[in-house]
């Protein structure tokens, strides 16, 4: 979704909240050139092969090690189309040894994906990268989608121009009306501008879903029976209007991808490095960085936690390069940078405390590291907002006063607080990395006036 707050487990209410939050906190810098048709509806076509995936198919046919990355949100994180597609590739190319690069985090969009693509994808040297953010970017301004999706593409190609990329578009219930009109929803339409510019093939799973709804062979949303019959007619696609059932909707997605990959393969050109055209946006997020927090950035009492001594570190070791824990008030993270945006890759959860965020000489603002969904720990992002280009210093301090956790939790989650008070007793802050658009400076750098 269109927020830095991220989840391994998500639901429709989470998605709605994330979209609304994003509209308020993630505004793009002004003055950048934007293609005139960036947000114009694009004709709904299931597959556009464009430049194909020539390097991937050549390597798969030749045999040897082939690495496939899946960068996306909860629909990709589920054991569905991702798992099914890799299994089919293994059967199609039996002389190749396929390995998966799992890089999907529920509840996250391209605005976080652009920061973590280096750590979660590029570092593992993929041959093919599937990018899936159409649902989670559903409420994002088109100009930001252009900037983040282009940033993802350019980072991948800068690292290795032979890496192939494929955009895949999933859908949620609010997107059905556009597909019924024969056009892509706004997020996918915008992403198509990036796909066109970089000759990236794209596949929209929703075209088939819409066709089946129209002919009465698919129910998009309904209560899931105790035992879901995958062969029942009409097919029950989902129960929440977002997440396809593994037995039905996810298999439909995989079927669409299989026939689309066949079409893309048939259109494939000769294997060769991809050209890097001039960017669509001068302010695209190609330079987005994920920088692990170092001791030099910390003030006061911090502990570096490991999977051996902290359950949070164990749970998120695959995503977070390092994890620091502050439990005592006045522990600080101090970061100076030259750029336009800084956020902290951290955790939200029942034991989260309150931090104060101070940017340059402005008054500090308190931000709880627990929200209405925090009956469990999950990845989050503490966003400090967009700043004028220049030098800035951000100071984030753990406060002594605990958040009003019972009030912060949604009503449906308050019984958990009452039944398990010990789970909410801590007032800690877990922080992992800096998400930066700009360049890191020494912490004592003087902010621009």
pLDDT for 258: 98
What percentage of the chain has pLDDT greater than the value 90? 87
pTM of the model as a whole = 0.87
> Which of the residue ranges 4-8, 77-81, 156-160, 428-432 would you say has the lowest mean pLDDT?
4-8
Alpha-carbon dihedral angle through residues 61, 64, 67, 68, given to the nearest 10 degrees: 30
Above pLDDT 70, what percent of the chain? Answer: 91
Which of 257, 265, 244, 150 shows the shortest CA–CA distance to 203? 257
382-436 residue pLDDT tens: 999 899 999 999 999 999 999 999 999 999 999 999 999 999 999 999 999 999 9
Q: Angle at the Cα of 268 (from 267 to 269), degrees rounded to 5?
A: 120
pLDDT of residue 268: 76
pLDDT at 269: 82
- pLDDT score for 445: 73
User: pLDDT category, 449, cuts 50, 70, 90?
Assistant: low
| Residue 342 predicted with pLDDT over 60 | yes
Q: CB-side exposure of 53: number of CA atoms within 13 Å?
A: 26
Question: Has residue 448 got a pLDDT over 70?
Answer: no
**Residues whose CB falls within 8 Å of the CB of residue 432, separated by 6 or more in sequence, listed in order:** 292, 293, 316, 320, 321, 322, 323, 324, 344, 345, 346, 347
Closest CA to 107 of 148, 79, 135: 135
Q: Tell me which long-range contacts 239-248 makes (C-beta under 8 A, separation of at least 24).
A: 240/11, 240/12, 241/12, 241/172, 241/173, 242/11, 242/12, 242/15, 242/75, 242/135, 242/172, 242/173, 243/10, 243/11, 243/74, 243/75, 243/78, 244/75, 244/78, 244/80, 244/170, 246/78, 246/79, 246/80
Find the Cα–Cα–Cα–Cα dihedral 366, 369, 375, 378, rounded to 10°. 150
Report whether 97 contacts 157 (CB < 8 A).
no
Kindly state the average pLDDT of the residues 371-379: 95
Of residues 179, 170, 235, the one with CA closest to residue 203: 170
Report CA torsion sign: 292, 293, 294, 297. Answer: positive
Mean pLDDT of the chain: 91
Compute the average pLDDT of residues 18-30: 35
Q: What are the tens digits of pLDDT across the range 85-96?
A: 999 999 999 999
How do residues 165-221 score in pLDDT, each as one tens digit?
999 999 999 999 999 999 999 999 999 999 999 999 999 999 999 999 999 999 999
Structural domains present in the chain? 12-266 (3.40.50.1110), 288-441 (2.60.120.260)
Tokens of 342: 């800084």
Integer-rounded Cα radius of gyration of the chain = 22
Question: For 151-177, what is the mean pLDDT?
Answer: 98
Per-residue tokens: 302: 């911090």
167-191: burial string, b at 16+ Cβ within 10 Å, e else: bbbbbbebbbebbeeebbbbbbbbb
Task: Output the pLDDT for position 107.
Answer: 87
**Per-residue pLDDT tens for 379-394?**
999 999 899 999 999 9
Check pLDDT > 90 for residue 27. Answer: no
Nearest Cα neighbor of 116 from 165, 73, 160, 78 is 73
How far is it, in rounded angstroms, from Cα 191 to Cα 294? 35
Given this model, what pLDDT does residue 444 score?
77
């Amino acid at each position: 979704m269109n927020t830095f707050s991220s989840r391994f487990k998500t639901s429709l209410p989470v998605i709605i909240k994330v979209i609304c939050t994003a509209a308020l906190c993630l505004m793009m810098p002004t003055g950048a050139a934007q293609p005139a048709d960036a947000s114009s509806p694009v004709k709904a076509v299931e597959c556009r092969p464009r430049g194909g995936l020539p390097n991937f198919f050549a390597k798969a046919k030749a045999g040897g090690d082939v690495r496939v990355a899946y960068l996306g949100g909860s629909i990709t994180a589920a054991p569905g189309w991702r798992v099914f597609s890799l299994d089919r590739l293994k059967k199609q190319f039996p002389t190749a040894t396929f390995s998966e690069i799992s890089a999907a985090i529920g509840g996250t969009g391209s605005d976080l994906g652009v920061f973590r693509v280096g750590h979660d994808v590029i570092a593992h040297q993929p041959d093919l990268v599937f990018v899936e953010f159409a649902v989670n970017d559903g409420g994002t301004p088109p100009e930001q989608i252009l900037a983040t999706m282009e940033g993802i593409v350019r980072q991948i190609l800068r690292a290795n121009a032979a890496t192939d990329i494929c955009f895949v578009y999933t859908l949620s219930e609010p997107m059905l009306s556009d597909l019924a009109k024969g056009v892509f929803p706004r997020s996918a339409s915008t992403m198509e501008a990036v796909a066109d510019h970089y000759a990236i093939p794209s596949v929209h799973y929703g075209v088939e879903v819409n066709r089946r709804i129209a002919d009465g062979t698919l129910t998009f949303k309904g209560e899931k029976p105790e035992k879901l019959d995958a062969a029942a007619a009409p097919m029950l696609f989902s129960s929440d209007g977002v997440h396809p059932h593994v037995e039905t909707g996810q298999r439909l997605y995989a079927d669409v991808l299989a026939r689309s990959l066949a079409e893309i393969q048939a259109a494939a050109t000769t294997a060769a490095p991809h050209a890097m055209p001039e960017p669509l946006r001068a302010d695209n997020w190609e330079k987005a960085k994920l920088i692990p927090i170092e001791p030099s950035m910390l003030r006061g009492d911090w502990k570096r936690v490991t999977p051996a001594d902290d359950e949070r570190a164990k749970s998120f070791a695959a995503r977070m390069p390092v994890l620091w824990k502050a439990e005592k008030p006045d522990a600080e993270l101090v970061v100076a940078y030259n750029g336009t945006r800084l956020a902290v890759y951290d955790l939200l959860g029942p034991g989260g405390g309150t931090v104060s965020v101070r940017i340059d000489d402005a008054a500090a603002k308190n931000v709880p590291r627990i929200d209405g969904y925090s009956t469990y720990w999950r990845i989050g992002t503490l966003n400090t907002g967009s700043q004028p280009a220049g030098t800035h210093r951000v100071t984030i301090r753990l406060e002594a006063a605990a958040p009003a956790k019972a009030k912060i939790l949604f009503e449906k989650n308050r019984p958990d607080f009452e039944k398990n008070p010990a789970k909410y007793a801590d007032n800690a802050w877990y922080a992992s990395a800096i998400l930066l658009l700009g360049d890191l400076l020494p912490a004592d750098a003087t902010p621009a006036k």
